[in-house]
Every structure is written in C-alpha cells, then in structure tokens.
Amino acid sequence: MDINELIKISESAQKFSYSPYSHITVGAALLTKSGKVYTGANIENASYGATICAERTAFVKALSEGEHDFEAIAITSNLGHETAPCGICRQFMDEFVKDDFKIILVNKEGEPSVRPFSYFMPDSFRIEN
C-alpha cells in the first residue's frame, strides 16, 4: 500500500477520537503484512490514566482478530506537527513488531517520514521466548 493512502486512512480515523479532555484527536492506520489495515483513535476517560492511545487501539483491534505480522503504522493528529508515539505505545508495540516495522509520521509542512521502529525504541527490554 502507498504511504499517502495509509496516512489518509489514519487521518480519517481521527473522526472517531473520543477526546473531550485534551481535544487532541489522534488517528492510527496499522498495515499488516497481508495488506489489511486496522484503524484506531484515542479514547479518553475522566480518570485520565485509563485513556487509550490511537496506536494501541489499532494494535488491540488487529491482535484480537488474530493478526501478528505488521508492516507499518501511520500516526496523525490535529496538533499540526509530527505526532510521535508515546512511551507506553512504544513499549506496547515493541512486544509485537519485528525489526522491519516502520512508523510513518507527518510533519507540520505535511511531509511524510518513514522511520524504522528501532529509531523510536532503541535497546528495548526484551525477554526471549
């Protein structure tokens, strides 16, 4: 799939964001190796710590339907600048992605970047199984 197409899907996933507290809408589009796309949006909670980010929403949707081979994720928001994944999402993704997994972001000029997951999560904690 084309990068720009994945970004568009991520942007449209923002419409399902539930963010009455931060008013930040985040969208994610997770592409599997088989070419399927799972979308996600951030879902907030009055108990702020219970909030679920867009990335984890997309991953949990995919994982709970049996998907385990991931190619890339496009992350977008209404912030007007690159929206890099938070630390919890980096750790969460680390459990399920391989070295070739890519993170696609969009900068304030609207230009996409494609970076390996290892750029965001070097030297991660891992237990071999």
Site residues (vs ligand THU, CB under 6 A) = 19, 22, 24, 26, 42, 44, 51, 53-55, 85-86, 89
- Nearest distance in Å: CB 129, ligand THU: 26
d(C-alpha 1, C-alpha 19), whole Å? 29
- Nearest distance in Å: CB 117, ligand THU: 14
By beta-carbon proximity to ligand THU, the closer residue of 47 and 129 is 47
- Nearest distance in Å: CB 19, ligand THU: 5
Query: What does the angle CA 71 – CA 72 – CA 73 come to, to the nearest 5 degrees?
Result: 145
By beta-carbon proximity to ligand THU, the closer residue of 29 and 53 is 53
Question: Which of these, 44, 50, 55, 42, lies nearest to 91 by C-alpha position?
Answer: 55
By beta-carbon proximity to ligand THU, the closer residue of 7 and 53 is 53
Secondary structure of residue 30 in the 3-state scheme: strand
Structure tokens at 109: 């000029």
Edge-first strand order for the sheet with 112-116 is 37-41, 26-32, 70-77, 102-106, 112-116
By beta-carbon proximity to ligand THU, the closer residue of 86 and 114 is 86
Query: Which residues are identified as catalytic?
Result: 55
Provide the 8-state DSSP code for 35.
S
